[in-house]
């Protein structure tokens, strides 16, 4: 399963926090009819960093906290002011609904994430969300996606009788406006020195209903063996060998 899109994640303060590029995960069909989502060791999410508008100055200044006021006075240096934000996985996706992918207004998957804010004055442990209290995104189609189907050999060569097949769902925007955003932590010398200022300025924690994720022109691809029974009991081995050809 591969999902790609440009996305804007906005919290209550309407600041763009992160840009989402892709999600990759596998789905194991269990004998009892249930399914299990399996994420790559590096995490299901692959995301580009985005620059936070206004930088550190916009994130916490002005402030009536003396130490924050002192920091604000140093932010004429563009290097010190710039903040980048990167969305990261903090656990495997779950609650995957394959049917929801072709319909609209139904959550497709639950994706636990956190946002890493990076700036010399914030330290390297400044996060919004965590493994124990993640932001959980549940995107759903706002319209019906276009449906396509392709077949190919294990090396990626298109072939109508190929051993691999892929469902392609494209063109439909996706949205989630029901998630909560927890308070920032670890901001400022990695010990949370300026957590309060960051949270106050951005309106964090932000309850469900105050936040929105929009996936623009989402592309979802679901690949697998065309006829897994024909390679039993080695279907898993064949899929492991060939799956990358589906996402080239």
pLDDT 10s digits, 166-216:
999 998 999 999 999 999 999 887 667 788 888 887 889 999 989 988 888
224 pLDDT above the threshold of 80: yes
pLDDT for position 11? 47
The conformational region for residue 55 under phi > 0 = left, psi -120 to 50 = alpha, else beta, is: left
Q: How confident is the model at residue 36 (pLDDT cuts 50, 70, 90)?
A: confident
C-alpha pair distances (Å), 208 with each of 63, 92, 102: 26, 22, 26
248 pLDDT above the threshold of 60: no
pLDDT tens digit string along 120-154? 888 889 999 999 999 999 999 999 999 999 999 98
Residue written as token pair 């901001």: 187
Q: What is the mean pLDDT of residues 230-240?
A: 84
CA distance 203 to 11: 8
Which of the 8 DSSP states describes residue 94? B
Which of the 8 DSSP states describes residue 241? H
pLDDT for position 13? 38
Helix extents (H) in 7-159? 55-60, 66-72, 78-81
CA 205 to chain centre: 19
Q: How confident is the model at residue 7 (pLDDT cuts 50, 70, 90)?
A: low
Q: How confident is the model at residue 114 (pLDDT cuts 50, 70, 90)?
A: very high
Mean pLDDT of the chain: 82
30 pLDDT above the threshold of 50: yes
Percent of the chain with pLDDT over 90: 29
Three-state DSSP class for 14? Answer: coil
pLDDT for position 80? 78
Instruction: Please give the residue that has the higher pLDDT: either 150 or 62.
Output: 150
Count of residues making up the chain: 248
pLDDT for position 21? 60
16 pLDDT above the threshold of 50: no
Instruction: Please give the residue that has the higher pLDDT: either 14 or 88.
Output: 88
């Amino acid at each position: 399963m591969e999902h790609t899109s440009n996305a804007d994640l906005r919290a209550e303060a309407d600041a763009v926090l992160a840009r989402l590029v892709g999600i990759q995960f596998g789905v194991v069909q269990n004998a009892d009819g249930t399914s299990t989502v399996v994420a790559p060791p590096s995490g299901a999410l692959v995301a580009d960093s985005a620059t936070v508008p206004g930088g550190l100055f916009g994130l916490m200044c002005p402030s009536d906290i003396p130490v924050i006021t002192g920091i604000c006075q140093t932010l004429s240096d563009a290097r010190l002011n710039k903040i980048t934000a990167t969305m990261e996985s903090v656990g495997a996706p779950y609650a995957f609904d394959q049917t929801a992918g072709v319909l609209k207004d139904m959550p497709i998957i639950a994706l636990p994430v956190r946002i890493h804010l990076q700036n010399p004055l914030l330290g390297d442990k400044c996060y919004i969300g965590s493994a124990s209290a993640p932001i959980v995104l549940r995107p759903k189609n706002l319209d019906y996606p276009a449906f396509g189907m392709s077949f190919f050999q294990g090396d990626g060569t298109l072939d109508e009788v190929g051993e691999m097949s892929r469902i392609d769902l494209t063109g439909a925007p996706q949205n989630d406006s029901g998630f909560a955003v927890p308070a920032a932590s670890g901001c400022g010398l990695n010990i949370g020195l300026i957590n309060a200022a960051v949270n106050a300025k951005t309106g964090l924690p932000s309850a469900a209903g105050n936040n929105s994720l929009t996936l623009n022109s989402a592309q979802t691809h679901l690949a697998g063996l065309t006829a897994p029974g024909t390679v039993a009991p080695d279907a898993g081995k064949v899929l492991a060998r060939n799956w990358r050809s589906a996402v080239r």
